[in-house]
Amino acid sequence: ETGVTQTPRHLVMGMTNKKSLKCEQHLGHNAMYWYKQSAKKPLELMFVYSLEERVENNSVPSRFSPECPNSSHLFLHLHTLQPEDSALYLCASSQDLAGASPNEKLFFGSGTQLSVL
């Protein structure tokens, strides 16, 4: 148990559906992240939040919409996704912003395996 909880673990959705992924961290961390992991590709950073403020958006299509209502919760709202969006979506947190201080470590949730039909 890493202290980062993601739900749901699995999600199958059609291209016209709207769904949300939820992440909660119990570690008192200040930074939270969404990553996408596709087969044979490195983890792709999607969004970064520090103290509830979005600090990075890596050219992610608008069909992905993040929300960070407080420092413990992070959502990823999904709308009109494409089949190529099928992947493992990982939430992570760190005490402070990774890259802003050396040796900052990420703690990952178990991920949501998303399939878009």
Query: Which stretches of the chain bind other proteins, using CB under 8 A?
Result: 2, 31, 33, 40-43, 45, 48, 55-56, 90, 97-111, 113
State the sign of the Cα–Cα–Cα–Cα dihedral 50, 55, 58, 62: positive
Please report how close the Cβ of residue 13 comes to other proteins at its closest, in angstroms: 20
Please report how close the Cβ of residue 34 comes to other proteins at its closest, in angstroms: 12
Under 8 Å between Cβ of 114 and 14? no
**Of 16 and 39, CB closest to other proteins:** 39
**Of 86 and 110, CB closest to other proteins:** 110
Q: What are phi and psi of 106, to 5 degrees?
A: -100, 140
**Of 71 and 113, CB closest to other proteins:** 113
Please report how close the Cβ of residue 103 comes to other proteins at its closest, in angstroms: 5
d(CA 107, CA 26): 11
DSSP code, position 82: -
